[in-house]
Structure 1
Amino acid sequence: MNDKSQYWQPYFAGIVLGLVLLAAFYTVGRGLGASGAMMRTVTTVVHAVAPEHTAQNAYLSRYVSGGQHPLKNWLVFQVLGVLVGGLLSGALANRLKFEVEHGPRFTPRARLFTAFAGGIIFGYAARLAMGCTSGQALTGGATLALGSWAFMMMVFAGGYAMAYFVRRQWI
């Protein structure tokens, strides 16, 4: 188990995250989020494989029209920065290891399958809701949007309710 002293103090990390959010509002006029970067990546792949489908699809075509490449967007660079920053942070703190964490009643393969399936459902729901939880919680919460606060309360309630069903996989 990792020594907890290697981690940032949560209140300090929260203040830093708030300052990063403030900087995003100030520099690009928008808050933080991740699902937009994933959508742009998916659009790029679909456009490379079937450009006529992308052009005829009302949802995807708005990401490829206008002459600008879909990946040339600050959200893509934000998500890349999160990935690289997390990798560097783990490496510098000697916490970098590649393993599949799972409970005694779950195989690594089952854990990867359920994580992948959950990610697909979550990604679809994020696009359907026109934003992900990071965008809702951080950006919407910071702007005191009532819908974002209600959404986050339901996320916590849903997570708490589901914990009963999945906790047995970890004990």
Structure 2
Amino acid sequence: MDPTPYIAGVGIGIISWFAFLLSDRPLGCSTAYARTSGMIEAAIRGDAARERPYYRKFAPQIDWEWMLVLGVVIGAFVTAVVTGEFALIWVPSRFAAAFGPDIPFRLVVAIIGGVLMGIGSRWAGGCTSGHGISGTLQLAISSWVAVIIFFVSGIVCAFLIYGVGP
């Protein structure tokens, strides 16, 4: 049994406590992606981007949530290297078995999925980690409903896409 997911779960729980204790804010990362898009738009359009109502509320800047995302990426990389599981895989084997080994198609699917996740997280007022970790930790009914829908949707999609099921 690989203890890594359990160690990560305990770590996320402890980080959640510290986030509330030190900043009185829930743990989440979808706003970091919205801020990044604002930084990209500000680099192209200048201050006109910062005047958008959304970016007045969520300033396009590097903040603690942005650093959290960076930490997740670095932590995942270090864990993969330390456990000897690091590998560059452009098309996962399960995806290739279902849809073929075409790298451009895989990238298009990943980009479309990422965009839809981003839109959904902004629409829902938080991402899966924000609702699933912080929201449920606060016993927010909306987050519990969201998490149940995440899991049910994921299971249904796995059945439909990969033909897995009873």
Could you say which TM-score interval applies, normalised by the shorter chain? 0.7 to 0.9
Alignment equivalent of 1:140, drawn from 135, 141, 144: 135
Q: Residues 63 and 140 from structure 1, CA distance in 2 versus in 1: closer, same or farther, beyond 3 angstroms? A: closer
Per the alignment, residue 61 of structure 2 pairs with 70
Per the alignment, residue 120 of structure 1 pairs with 115
Q: Does structure 1 retain, via aligned residues, the 8 Å contact 2:38–2:50?
A: no
Provide the C-alpha distance between the structure 1 equivalents of 2:105 and 2:123, rounded to a whole number of angstroms.
27
Give the C-alpha shift of residue 87 in structure 1: 0.8
TM-score, with structure 2 as normaliser: 0.85
Alignment equivalent of 2:10, drawn from 2, 5, 15: 15
Provide the C-alpha distance between the structure 1 equivalents of 2:58 and 2:126, rounded to a whole number of angstroms.
16
The yes-or-no answer on 1:156 pairing with 2:122 is no
SS of the residue aligned with 2:25? coil
Query: How many residues are matched?
Result: 159
Q: Deviations over 1:121-162 (max 9, x none)?
A: 110111122211100010000000011001111111111121
Unaligned runs of 5+ in 2: none
Within 5 Å, which residues of 2 pair with 1:1-171? 5=1, 7-8=2-3, 10-64=5-59, 70-71=61-62, 73-100=63-90, 101=92, 102-104=95-97, 105-106=99-100, 107-168=102-163
Q: Deviations over 1:63-105 (max 9, x none)?
A: 44xxxx711x111111111111111111111111111213223
Q: Does structure 2 retain, via aligned residues, the 8 Å contact 1:54–1:61?
A: no
RMSD, aligned CA: 2.0
Unaligned runs of 5+ in 1: none
Q: Deviations over 1:9-58 (max 9, x none)?
A: 65454333212211221122112111111111111110111124314421
Q: Residues 63 and 19 from structure 1, CA distance in 2 versus in 1: closer, same or farther, beyond 3 angstroms? A: closer
TM-score, with structure 1 as normaliser: 0.83
AA paired with 2:85?
R
Q: Does structure 2 retain, via aligned residues, the 8 Å contact 1:40–1:70?
A: yes
Provide the C-alpha distance between the structure 1 equivalents of 2:44 and 2:108, rounded to a whole number of angstroms.
26
